[in-house]
Structure 1
Amino acid sequence: MGPVVAAFTLLFAANGANPATNEVDLQPTQWRVVLDGVMGGLSSGKLTESKSGLKFTGELSLKNNGGFAWARTRRLDLDRNFDGFEIEVQGDGRIWDFMIDSSRRRVMAGGYRTRFQTKKGVRTTHRFPLSGFEAVSFGQVLARGDLRASDCAGLGVLIGDKKEASFDLTLIKITTYSAPRAPLSATQVGIRSPERSIVLQAIEMGVPRYNDGDHVGCADLYELALSSILMMGDVPDDLRAKTRKDFRAAMALTSDEDRAWSHRRNMDRLLEQTSAAP
Structure 2
Amino acid sequence: MNLLPLIAALFWSTAWSGTLLEFKSSEPAWYARNDTVMGGVSNSRVRVDGGVLLFTGQVRLENNGGFSGIRSTPSRVDLSAFSRLILRVKGDGKRYALQLGTSTGNGVTYRNEFDTVPGQWIEVSVPLASLRPTRFGERVTGPALNPSDVVFFGLVIGNNRAERFALQVDWIKGQ
The TM-score bracket by the shorter chain reads 0.7 to 0.9
SS of 1:99's equivalent?
strand
Unaligned runs of 5+ in 2: none
**1:25 CA drift (Å):** 5.5
Task: Indicate the residue corresponding to 2:40 in structure 1.
Answer: 41
Q: Does 1:19 align with 2:13?
A: yes
Equivalent residue for 1:223?
A: none
- SS where residue 161 of structure 2 aligns? coil
Which has more strand, going by share of residues? 2
Give 1:175's aligned amino acid: K
Structure 1 residues 45 and 147: CA distance shift in structure 2, 3 A: same
Rg larger for: 1
Tell me the distance in 2 between the aligned counterparts of 1:144 and 1:125. 29
Displacement of 1:51 in angstroms is 3.0
Deviation at 1:52, TM superposition (A): 5.4
Change (3 A) 1:80 1:94: closer
The residue type paired with residue 70 of structure 2 is A
Once superposed, which parts of structure 1, at least 4 consecutive aligned residues long, lie more than 6 Å away? 11-14
Q: Which moved more, 1:143-152 or 1:167-176?
A: 143-152
SS at match of 1:19: helix
Following TM superposition, by how much is the alpha carbon of 1:97 offset from its aligned partner in structure 2, in angstroms? 0.7
Give matches, 1:46-85, under 5 Å. 46-51=45-50, 53-83=52-82, 84-85=84-85
Q: 2:153 aligns with which of 149, 152, 155?
A: 155
* CA apart distance, 1:60: 0.8
Tell me if 1:97 matches 2:102: no
Higher relative contact order (CA 8 A, sep 6+): 2
What is the root-mean-square deviation of aligned Cα atoms in Å?
A: 2.8
Q: Is the Cα contact below 8 Å between 1:19 and 1:81 reproduced in 2?
A: no
Measured after TM superposition, the shift of residue 70 of structure 1 is 0.7
User: Could you tell me how far 1:175 is from its partner in structure 2?
Assistant: 2.1
Give the number of equivalent residue pairs: 167
Deviation at 1:127, TM superposition (A): 1.8
Secondary structure at the counterpart of residue 160 of structure 2: coil
Structure 2 residue 109 is matched with structure 1 residue 111:
yes
How many angstroms apart in 1 are the aligned matches of 2:143 and 2:126? Answer: 12
Alpha-carbon separation, structure 2, partners of 1:154 and 1:64 = 28
Q: Which runs of 5+ in 1 are unaligned?
A: 1-6, 178-278
TM-score of the superposed pair, with normalisation by structure 1:
0.53
Q: Kindly, what percent of the aligned residue pairs are identical?
A: 26
Q: SS state of the match for residue 45, structure 2?
A: strand
Amino acid at match of 1:174: I
Amino acid in structure 2 at the alignment position of 1:111: T
In structure 2, C-alpha distance between the alignment counterparts of 1:126 and 1:145, rounded to whole Å: 25
1:123-138 equivalences under 5 Å are 123-138=121-136
Cα deviation per residue 1:109-146 (whole Å; 9 max; x = unaligned)?
x5111110011111111122221110011343224772
Letter in 2 for 1:58: G
The Cα shift of 1:78 comes to: 2.7
| One-letter amino acid of the structure 2 residue matched with residue 71 of structure 1 | I
Secondary structure (helix, strand or coil) at the match of 2:117 reads coil
Report if the CA contact (8 A) 1:44-1:59 is conserved: yes
Instruction: Confirm or deny: 8 A CA contact 1:130 1:145 kept in the other structure.
Output: no
